[in-house]
């Protein structure tokens, strides 16, 4: 046990020494309204945390980073009158940025992915959150938002639009509910509208039909309209057996009802002057062209898929979970982070103590080509050889180099050694 502890301590000291060198060489990226933020730090010993600190000058913060060498650096999403006050009551809350946090824990099936696969999947989720919801549906200007790679398993989006600064926890939670389709009501999406009225002997009879949403509709109706088109296109690419199998897997469906819906969608109804099927009518917005039973079934499937707890499904592989999730239009985010008006969030340009990677701020355009294991490896890390004892074999590409290493003692570049030591995948071999 003592040897293991000594090995861990040596590895921590190795990583910490290089963190100090990084902070000595690096100009910190200061958040907006820097002097109004609270700062917090986690250190290399579990449970050692320091917060309720404020800095008025950049050199004060840099001096702290170099002298104390924290494993993790955070600042508050909130602005305060007295950010360094020892209690939250004394700080004097002035407002807070709107912050979104997405990592593998929030993605269906994300825990089964390798680290590189996880980073790519989370990147796709953060782009969906930005494009579909924050920019398109909520109308935030891209100049008032910033994406930040966390240095670990995900990304953050900081919204510093003046309109959100005063929002309380309840209003922020409503934004999360909207993004994640919580409480989505099918009757709001598929509306019943009158289309004919007849009068006979003083009584009035109104005929109604179910109207499918349009892409031009605001909010979730328009979002769902796009989802219908994509779902129908996917069904067309499947053979009959696979299509019925998928349709029957949704709640409220079985093989018989799925076969009926399939037939109603794909059977040719009119052959001249061109073949017309039910699916063609639905694409035209005429969902009423289906039978009432199949119309209701399709509407139920479209809304239900947004709210299925995919990780709780049994007998389904991680690959299938991801396919199910890709059909959905909803976004994902960590609700407690977004609703918290006093949250501490990672500081850009700081280092992540469990990876040795840099916390990188970027624009929406920049994320397309961003590769964390290439672009977030600090330039301060060198190619100098370091002897490491690997717990297991490693197959990894980092900083553009591929490594396929056996367990046991290996000489690896410093940039890989720091990553492996920080993640607890290897330990430094002390020189004799």
Task: Say if pTM beats, i.e. exceeds, 0.85.
Answer: yes
Whether residue 193 sits in one domain with residue 176: no
Q: Are residues 199 and 99 in the same domain?
A: no
Q: Which of 97, 280, 325, 334 is catalytic?
A: 334
Give a yes or no: residue 98 inside a domain.
yes
Domain count, the chain: 3
Task: State the pLDDT at residue 372.
Answer: 96
pLDDT at 47: 84
**Structural domain range at position 404:** 1-18+380-432
Joined together, the tokens standing for residue 73 give 């650096």
What spatial distance separates the first Cα and last Cα of the chain, rounded to whole Å? 20
Lookup: tokens for 293: 């039973």
Q: Write the CATH number for 46.
A: 3.90.920.10
**Claim to verify: residue 351 and residue 298 sit in the same structural domain:** no
- pLDDT tens across 325-369, in order? 889 999 999 999 999 999 999 999 999 999 999 999 999 999 999
Q: What is the predicted pLDDT for the residue at 15?
A: 97
Kindly state whether residues 273 and 391 are assigned to the same domain.
no
Active site residue 383: no
**Is 301 contained in some domain?**
yes
CATH number of the domain encompassing residue 399 = 3.40.5
Q: What is the full DSSP assignment across 144-178? A: GEEEEE-SSSEEEEEE--GGGTT--HHHHHHHHHH
Both structure tokens of 174:
């409503």
What residues in the chain have per-residue pLDDT under 70?
A: 1-4, 206, 312-315, 431-432
Assigned domain for 313 exists: no
Catalytic residue among 97, 101, 280, 325: 101
Q: What are phi and psi of 315, to 5 degrees?
A: 55, 45
Q: Does residue 253 belong to any structural domain of this protein?
A: yes
CB contact at 8 A, 380 and 318: no
Residues 368 and 385 grouped into a single domain: no
Mark whether 149 and 33 lie in a shared domain: yes
Last residue of a domain, one of 305, 339, 366: 305
Cα distance between residue 99 and residue 97, in whole Å: 6
Residue 334 appears among annotated catalytic residues: yes
> Are residues 169 and 108 both part of a single domain?
yes
Active site residue 5: no
Q: Among candidates 50, 96, 92, 56, which has minimal Cα distance to 73? A: 50
Q: Are residues 75 and 130 in the same domain?
A: yes
Question: What's the pLDDT score for residue 319?
Answer: 80
Q: Which strands make up the sheet holding 408-413, listed edge to edge?
A: 408-413, 385-390, 426-428
Three-class secondary structure of residue 272 per DSSP: coil
pLDDT of residue 1: 41
Give yes or no for a contact between 262 and 251, defined as CB atoms under 8 angstroms apart.
no
């Amino acid at each position: 046990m003592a040897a293991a502890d000594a090995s861990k301590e040596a590895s921590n000291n190795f990583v910490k020494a290089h963190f100090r060198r990084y902070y000595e060489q690096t100009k910190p990226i200061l958040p907006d309204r820097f002097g109004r933020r609270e700062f917090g730090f986690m250190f290399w010993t579990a449970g050692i945390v320091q917060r309720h600190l404020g800095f008025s000058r950049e050199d004060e913060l840099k001096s702290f980073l170099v002298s104390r060498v924290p494993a993790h650096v955070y600042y508050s999403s909130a602005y305060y009158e007295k950010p360094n006050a020892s209690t939250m009551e004394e700080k004097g809350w002035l407002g807070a940025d709107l912050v979104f946090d997405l990592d593998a824990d929030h993605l269906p099936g994300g825990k089964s992915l390798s680290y590189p696969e996880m980073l790519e999947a989370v990147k796709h989720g953060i782009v969906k959150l930005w494009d579909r919801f924050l920019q398109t549906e909520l109308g935030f200007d891209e100049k008032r938002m910033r994406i930040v790679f966390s240095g670990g398993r995900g990304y953050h989006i900081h919204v510093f639009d003046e309109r959100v600064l005063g929002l309380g926890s309840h209003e922020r939670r409503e934004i999360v509910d909207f993004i994640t389709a919580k409480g989505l009501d099918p009757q709001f999406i598929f509306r019943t509208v009158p289309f004919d009225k007849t009068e006979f002997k003083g009584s009035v009879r109104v005929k109604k039909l179910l109207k499918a949403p349009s892409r031009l509709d605001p909010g979730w109706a328009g979002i769902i309209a796009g989802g219908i088109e994509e779902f129908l296109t996917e069904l067309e690419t499947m053979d009959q057996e696979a299509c019925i199998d998928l349709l029957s897997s949704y709640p409220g469906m079985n093989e018989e009802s799925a076969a009926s819906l399939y037939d109603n969608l794909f059977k040719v109804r009119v052959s001249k002057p061109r073949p017309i099927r039910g699916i063609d009518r639905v694409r035209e917005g005429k969902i009423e062209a289906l039978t009432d039973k199949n119309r209701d079934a399709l509407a139920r499937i479209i809304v239900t898929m947004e709210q299925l707890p995919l990780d709780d499904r049994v007998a389904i592989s991680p690959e299938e979970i991801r396919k199910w999730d890709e059909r959905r239009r909803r976004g994902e985010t960590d609700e407690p982070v977004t609703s918290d008006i006093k949250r501490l969030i990672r500081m850009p340009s700081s280092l992540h103590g469990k990876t040795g990677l840099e916390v990188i701020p970027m624009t929406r355009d920049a994320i397309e080509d961003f590769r964390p294991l290439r672009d977030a490896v600090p330039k301060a890390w060198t190619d100098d050889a370091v002897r490491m004892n690997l717990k297991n074999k490693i197959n990894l590409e980092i900083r553009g180099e591929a490594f396929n290493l056996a367990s046991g003692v290996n000489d690896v570049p410093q940039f890989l050694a720091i990553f492996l030591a920080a993640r607890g995948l290897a330990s430094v071999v002390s020189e004799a």
